[in-house]
Amino acid sequence: MATLKTGIWFVHRFDLHRGKYLALCQRAGDVSVTRDGVPPYDDTGMFGINIHKGGYNTTSSEGCQTIHPSQWESFIALATDQAKRFFGDKWKKTTVPYVLVEQG
């Protein structure tokens, strides 16, 4: 299991998550995660830490960032619309910035 470290990530692009549906996928570079262990440890690399639809009762993921299914369609529609507005026909090849902050 892995948890994405907080920060600004410039590694996600629109692509198919597990070949099934459009999501924001780690395609443009490494990310840093904290892995479960005794003690927990940091790791950096291409792990497929995607931003995708979660489950109704669980996140349905081992390290990815997930969006509740009731919010997924509006999230991906808005993200796609904004990417097309800003980047035109290159929207699928453009890196989408993702900011992860710690609640506190």
Span 2-13, pLDDT tens digits? 999 999 999 999
The answer to whether 79 and 40 have CB atoms below 8 angstroms apart is: no
User: Edge-to-edge, what's the strand order for the sheet holding 2-4?
Assistant: 2-4, 31-35, 41-45
Query: Hey, is 33 helix, strand or coil?
Result: strand
What is the average pLDDT across 60-76?
92
Whole-model pTM?
0.91
Q: Is 84 exposed, middle or buried (0-12, 13-18, 19+ CB in 10 A)?
A: middle
23-39: pLDDT as tens digits: 999 999 999 999 999 99
Would you state the pLDDT for residue 66?
94
Report domain extents, the chain: 2-88
**pLDDT band at 63; cut points 50, 70, 90:** confident
Q: What's the confidence (pLDDT) of residue 40?
A: 95
